[in-house]
Structure 1
Amino acid sequence: MRRLLLIMNLLSVLLICLVLTFAGSAFAETTNKALWVPNVSPDSTVQLGGLCISETYAMSIKPGDWVTIKLPSFTELNKMTFYFPEQGKAITVTFYKDNYSVGSATYNYGEEALLIGGTTASSEIRLQAINKQSVTLKVCAVPAWPTTKTFRTYIHFDEVYIKPVAPGELESSDIKVTLDAPSTSGFSSGSVTVGRLLTFGGSTITADSPTNITEDGGKIADITLKEEVAGALKKNDADFLQKNTVKLVLSPGFSWDNVTLIPLGGFSKDSVAFAVHTERDGRSALYLKINNESSGSPGQLVIKASIKVDEPLTTSRDVKVTYGGTNPGVGGERIAEVTVAKYLVPGLTVTAKSALDVVAGRSNQQIGSFTIAEGMPGDLPQGRLISLTLPEGAKWNQVPQVSLEAGSGVLEFRGTRDEGRTVTFVVKAASSERAVFCFKNATVDLALGAPEELTVTVKGPGVSSTVTVAHVQAPVAVSAAGSTVRIGVQEQPVGTITIQENLVGALRTRDAAGNRAVLKLTLPSGVRFARIPTVKVTAGDLELDATGIKLDDNDRTLVIPVKLSSATPVEKQAGEQVGSTLAVEDILLTVERAVPEGDITLEVSGSALSETEDLFSPSLNKLTCVLARCITPAPEEIKRKVVFTVGSTRYQVGSEEREMDVAPYIKEGRIYAPVRYLAYAVGLTEERIFWNSEDFTVTLLTGKRVVQFKVGQRGYVLQGIYVPMDAAPEIVNGRVMVPYRYLAQALGFQVSWDPVKQAIIIQ
């Protein structure tokens, strides 16, 4: 029997392994496809078709998966772009002889570069360029399980040099990208055609350097159309707008204006004509009419043109021309795309390049980089100033380094003001071309009260803009269980205070002078600790100096020395890692009579929490949380008789007759009366009645109890205990009406009903 059970268990394990194996092979894959396939020619720098890699099923790709993307040996990568739609980021990679760059950072071949993610991001993707034909995409982190999000990236081969190659040297005219991944990877191996090499019979276009234009339009770069062989572009004079088309389509928002064609090579003077036509999508297209095919040698056509701007645009952009058509000598609707102009808008533009994660209360922390770009040359005239200002709670430590990404201008650091919050630069030399300046490698000092999104306000000629450069995380999270205390009462218990490190080692052991670092919990004026609470570490390896825990500042401040900082992360839900957690329990508060009603706010500060105490005012170097709510005991209720009458807006309190703006009524056997006037009648003042318009609750405070009613809810809360009712409060003419019997009972009063007088009597 025991042997049979063992065999059955082994079979079960084998079955599970088989299921997992087949599941992994069925689902662990990507779909690799080309976005478009252009025709290209040898000995030219071209844009190949785009490549899309998309995960078929969520969570197929896992940390450690990689895929190598390789172009043929007769190509050389100059520039490519990775676009990740989930993150909304496009990253450009530029290839050089001995190294490559990602953004502004340069790497040797074989070194890894970060494309997406970082220390706190849910996804992390890295790139390793091997050479000018081969790169490897590596997945280091993925969104937490479970998720329905799938991996997807678009890869654009923006600039690829096609080496000279003869037809006999190729097995196929297809230019294929090879994708190679291990069998255990979530990526699929295979090849995708991203271009076709036309060693005969095709055509393409190139363009000179882009010109600059404004809302007035203007001349664009000269475009050169080249045939690969004579006669490649077939005659289409019969209906050149419909059949055997050859067209050059402008970017949206622009239209062809003056056009001149200069035929060269095998094209004679009247071989090619043109017409401007508006496409169905509204874009302006230049259609070429081939009257006579080229002969003797391949034809060339130089297109000189100016364009118009359909409407003034508010942002700068590239103006592009897409070459395509159905003519056999073209071969597709989108064969090549060239940039012919840059549309410029006057004024400076401030753009974030990166935003890093930083910690509040820390010094010398690196922030992200950003650019200031001229819309047009001369937007930054010589002698003008640019100021960069941080918000309250932040100061510059290392001034940003300035590098020139475009143009020829010069910026020079001038000085610091506003107690270190603002740095200024002066334009030493204006640029004759549109200038783009990058500000990078800056560090800042942060107070505990620094804003969650750290921004830089840029002011200069015609610009006042804000850009986010860092995401600020508090070193600890402080929360309190919440309680209610009363004025003039001693030794009142309140709930536990929990302090959780958001990162390992958040609480320091030593301050800048080498002294024991302490954590301070400070109560507001008029409130003090009745005794030293219990302080203990509930998670992690943080150690406190229990012998040094004391009360200070007339018992308003609890001082907690840190003996040893945490070193080991603690796992939370969904794989999140934090530092240690400490709890402050058995808290008793004494509240003096001068304390106002409202929240009792606890301030958390100290050298264990902040290393920038000497740089900022105490009001900025603290964290806060609401520890309790303070209420004033109501005076003894006045013994009196109150009478409300159904249908009447007059009611009687003792011998006094009063007026209200809504009358009691009977509904479904219950008598409803306005809660506010009922409260007034039994002696509650305006300060004892709280209306919350967001959740439609009304709260009444007496000397002995707290009562809460909610509109639409068949029940009320008395001293934190839910008491059911058979009817629900409702709003009539702007007043909350409640079944009077439940309200009177909740407040501790006797109620009776006079059916003859239709009167409610409360005593």
Structure 2
Amino acid sequence: MRKSRRLVSIILAIAMIFVLAAPAFASSTYSQVSANFATSNSNAAPLGTAKIAIPTAEMTAGDSVNIKLPQDFSFFPNTETYPAGVTVAYPDFATAAIVDAQAPATHYVEFNSPNVSNSLFSAAANNFTVAFVSEREVKLTLTNAALTAGCENGYIYVKLLNVFVPSSASGDVSISFDAQPGTSFASGSVVVGKVGSGSVELSIDDVNTITSTGGNISTVNVKEDRPGALRNSTKSIKVKLPSGFEWNTASAVTTTNKWGTIGAQPAGANLTAALTAAGTGYTLTDNNRTLQINSAGGSVAALYYTITGLGITVDESVAKAGDIEAIVSGDSSTTPSTLVIGRYGDFSSSVSTSDAKDVRAGRTDEEIGKIIIDEAIAGSLIATRTVTLTLTGGAKWHQSPIGTLNTNLRIDTASSDQRGLTLGAWAVVGDSFETIKATVTTASTGSKPAKIVLEKGNVDLSADATGEIKVVVAGTAGASGEGLVANVVKPVTVAADGALPDLIIGEQNQAVADVIVTENMKEAIDATGANNVLAIEFPAGVTPGLPKSVEVIEGDLQLDKSSPNIGYVNDKFRINVNVLSTSSTPSKVKFSGITVTTDRTVPTGGIAVKVKGTAVDQTAIAGLFPGSTTAAKTNVANCITASPKQETGANVKFKIGENKYTANGVEKTMDVAPYIKDNRTFVPVRYVAYALGVNEDNVLWDNDTQKVTILKGDKVVQMTIGSKELLVNGAVITMDVAPEITNDRTMLPFRFIAQALGAKVTWDEATQTVTIVI
């Protein structure tokens, strides 16, 4: 019994499944092919196209769908009357079905069934009919009179060509499809347009230069974004010029249609202050400052036209140089609200710079940023005249070889707009290499001004250069201005390691703080060729001994550990070390265990060392920046004992070619006269020592070793004939010349012997006199 009940339940469940499972039915679908913009209150707006797709297997003759426009819309212009109750049928839907109330030649709406794998296409009979229900509704009915075999679907395109759009319309416009359920057609809707006020875009092909004599602007483009955007008005568009400018009433204006409804554009005509007929031309108002562009009315197809020949006159007393920015307005909605239609200016050129580079102090052949010269109008830079470029801030144009300009400066053709303008070769002005010049060989031509961008300029920088490097543009061609082209970075810094000790004048072997030279970037300390000497220089009156060590304490810079020596340059002692290879990571060099001897001329205050040498100053060998050879400096000690104003009162004068000298006004005789050799002034060592208070017994000569020894107080000075090494209390000082014997007397340039004995020297070129003072 229980089993039979279970069987009945299963049978009932299966029966219910068959009852509920209705056969699947694939009805029509609707899609958008196009959707056009339209304006409200349009009498014949071309909206878009909708596509109906119907599975062939589901087509049933007699099935229908009602296609309806929104409320107050009409398939026809409001001047037409729809044929109520009339069914419109055409034998050949391969072209189009034309639905028209009055004249069949006018297409208001089309129903098209093209020959593209389309079962509804037939050249023999109608497969559907269209009947009017109202001015905004039609009924499409399938007849299936002659379906094309082998096609999976049938297609009908509904194309809305001349739709009336009411003034109340806005936003999306959709057509609806209403159909009885269970038929070949489904219900739905498709967006076929968008209604809005629309806008008119104004643009200009080019920005012409207008001079004080006036001129024409470039072609003006007027473009609707939808039909009817141009309003029917004598001031559909207004273009107002700024103060100082007027529209030229003699302008011969030409209007050219690109596309769209020609009737909506103005006719070309001379501008006149008198009001022209609406829709036929242009009107000038506001003392000829405002141009009113007339429009005959709403376009049926979106309009695009151009205006050429518009001219401008200039009142120089009012007009401002620069862009001529007009205000755009009118009864039509326009964009943009302002439009640059020209550029006003007379013959002049402006200067600017860009892409300023970081350059290293003390380096040669460093690249700077770009220099830009803009003409105000074409021909501003005058042919056969010059453009000069002057560097400021411790820079000179690159020389290679020394005394020869070797600049890479050139026109950046990709960034320039030369307009025919050309420059000749660059040449140096004067002998400082701070200024170069080029001649304008050909002036620019045409309506547009030229723009010259100069790039790849290369310069040499002093070791003590800091801050900004600027270029000043001048010359006779008419360019004037300046700009930043580089920022100087210091390759190295220097600092004392530890507390600064106090020094006493006249004392020997006094310790100073250790010195650390730090690279601010890799390869800051050079090692190329002659550019491999790193030096720390001491002030006059301070004689250093060799440090206990010179070593790299950080980074991978390599030094020649056997190279430290004492040098003497321009009356100052320095510690030199040779660099073997540059760093790949910033390095630090430490000078340790330095002692100094101070003479009695050293003033109180800080004792500063300066970082010098060709490794940090590539300009030093050539002497490009005399007196500007310090890369960095720091104090290493303090002198706490004031130097006496005068110790012995010694004031000695030697004169070239004379065998007499004066010591504190007393004339004395020598057996040899001072002389000049290779631009160096040689004096007899013995008589200089006597003049500075050295006892005759303390000037010693060793004939076997050819060595002179001078004893003065706590100082021992030694030199050997033919050797460039000068020993002061055992410290080796390297001279640039060696002592020599003349008339049995040891001769040496006066600065070396005087400085070694703690004296100061001066040279009077006019009188050929050496003065030595203690």
Q: TM-score, normalised by structure 2?
A: 0.46
Larger fraction in strand:
1
Over alpha carbons, which structure has the higher Rg? Answer: 2
